[in-house]
A and B are shown apart, each in its own frame.
Chain A
């Protein structure tokens, strides 16, 4: 294949960038500019990958070291992986912009940018890899870089939140190793395409069901799905703004990606069972996340709980499992990443202007009086989160509801309808507290804070993708059609 290196570039560019950024540790402004350049180059390479894959209709497969498929590690850029990588790197690039304009002392730490680039590397790697063990390695790298970035946060509870998360994640990675072991002993391969082929041919192995359970648990921890969500609000609140905006938007999508791969490629004979479980967990997540977000006293924490609810929406889409619902889930995942990253950056921006650096509602009440521009952005973001036109949130919600009506799943539709109303309630309450109420006596907003460039770009994209949604919907529909044809994926990887 002519363009096979394209599946490798989105991993290689941030990895090399991280090494060089480490050498630039003493020259901070140069390091920041270098990081931004690296992320933009990575974004360009992944967009190129998406364009090539979409136009040619063939996955781009890179066999590392020239070893043929089941023996070496294959990197596979099919449409799903390409969409997810573009989504991650787009949001990660705006995160660098926010970090550059940030007043936090954590961004002055010499290893902040290298760690950030490692986050980008590992996220792209975990999505693009076609090997289960390689995915474990990248997921572990993702966890470690995310945890270190939180542990050095300005928030004094950063270390504790990081400890809590790392502890749970280590357990999740043990689960993943157990799944790897079970699958290897049953089928003798770890290449996902090869595994899919063998599982479809013979699903009699006794260790197959445990391995499905272990993988489910792993991805549930990664995505903070309902029973495994307890670390997430603390972790996402304590992280520095530039990082928490990434953790709560794109990093949680790794689990979503894993679930998509599990139900459409790896475990096709068992997909119906997995889907019904995901549907139930998604519905619980939507309602529980919405209610918890309503009960919080901190803007960042509210948005973290909101992620729990929004991931629930995506899981409901995957759980319905019709081609239309899967396309809706992909659109939802893409749009949610943009909205949530933008909203968290705005919450962090407000916190940076408050008298004490905190996003607690008691502190930020009335802070918005002096920053109307952020208020407009926050309002548009709230509309997006709640799914009201003209934002992209409307497109994703409408798409999801339409697929639900198509599939006649009215019970779960009613629940996610309630979830949508809850979203509107909590975002509007936050908007009212920050921008409408008078500040308490004696509280004075700071005249300067972080820069608004990054949230401006993200919320701008929210509007653009709301008014001109066709390309994204088209890509998602095509992706869903590709996912309906696992034989094509297997053939592209294994050859022959």
Chain B
């Protein structure tokens, strides 16, 4: 299960980075969202974490997992939600101004 989690997080990272580097600005924003989730999952896996037991308290093994990373994730989720909303609203303004979603055509800053 640990291996599976690690691989899943790795795939999420790869997907996120790949989308992030696309020219389409909407795709790259989606890449940002995927990356945010990958980072949060990574933080989750830093707490004590045993096999398929629930990540918080386990009745069967008696292991209490560390609650701090989960508190960190809660904060990080809220912040990344605000960040994502802000990114999308700026994206809306930019794509409305240039009538395109291709990053190469958003070139106002070059001059």
Contacts and interface: CB of A to CB of B under 8 A. Distances in A.
Interface in B97-111: 97, 106, 108-109
A55 interface: no
Contacts of A174: 35-36, 39
B54 interface: no
Interface stretch (A180-188, A303-311, A312-320): A180-188
Contact of A163 (B42, B75, B91): B91
Given A144-B82, A170-B32, A184-B46, A163 B69 contact: no
A167 B43 contact: no
Interface stretch (A152-160, A280-288, A434-442): A152-160
B76 interface: yes
Interface in B57-98: 68-69, 72, 75-76, 79-80, 82-83, 86-87, 90-91, 93-94, 97
Contact of B90 (A137, A166, A182, A184): A166
B108 A157 contact: yes
A384 B7 CA distance: 54
Contacts of A185: 46
A166 B83 contact: yes
Nearest to B35: A174
A181 B69 contact: yes
A151 interface: yes
A165 to B, nearest CB: 10
Contact of B87 (A161, A167, A177, A181): A167
Interface in B14-48: 20, 28, 32, 35-36, 39, 42-43, 46
Given A177-B76, A180-B43, A144 B86 contact: yes
Given A140-B79, A178-B42, A147 B35 contact: no
Contacts of B82: 144
A84 interface: no
B39 A178 contact: yes
A178 B9 CA distance: 12
Given A157-B108, A170-B32, A163 B72 contact: no
Which secondary structure characterizes the binding site on chain A?
A: helix
A166 B90 CA distance: 10
B72 A133 contact: yes
A250 to B, nearest CB: 22
Nearest to B97: A159
A167 B26 CA distance: 12
A133 B75 contact: yes
B43 A181 contact: yes
Interface string A179-220: 011101100000000000000000000000000000000000
A157 B106 CA distance: 10
Interface in A334-359: none
A301 to B, nearest CB: 11
Given A157-B109, A159-B94, A166 B72 contact: no
A78 interface: no
A228 to B, nearest CB: 15
Contact of A151 (B35, B43, B90, B109): B90
Interface in A113-142: 133, 137, 140
A184 B76 contact: no
B108 A160 contact: yes
Given A167-B87, A174-B39, A177-B43, A160 B69 contact: no
Contacts of B36: 170, 174
11 contacts: A148-B86, A163-B87, A166-B87, A170-B80, A171-B35, A174-B36, A181-B42, A181-B69, A184-B68, A184-B69, A234-B109
Would you list the 9 A-B pairs with minimal beta carbon distance, nearest first?
A: A185-B46, A181-B46, A163-B90, A181-B43, A157-B108, A174-B39, A177-B39, A234-B109, A140-B79
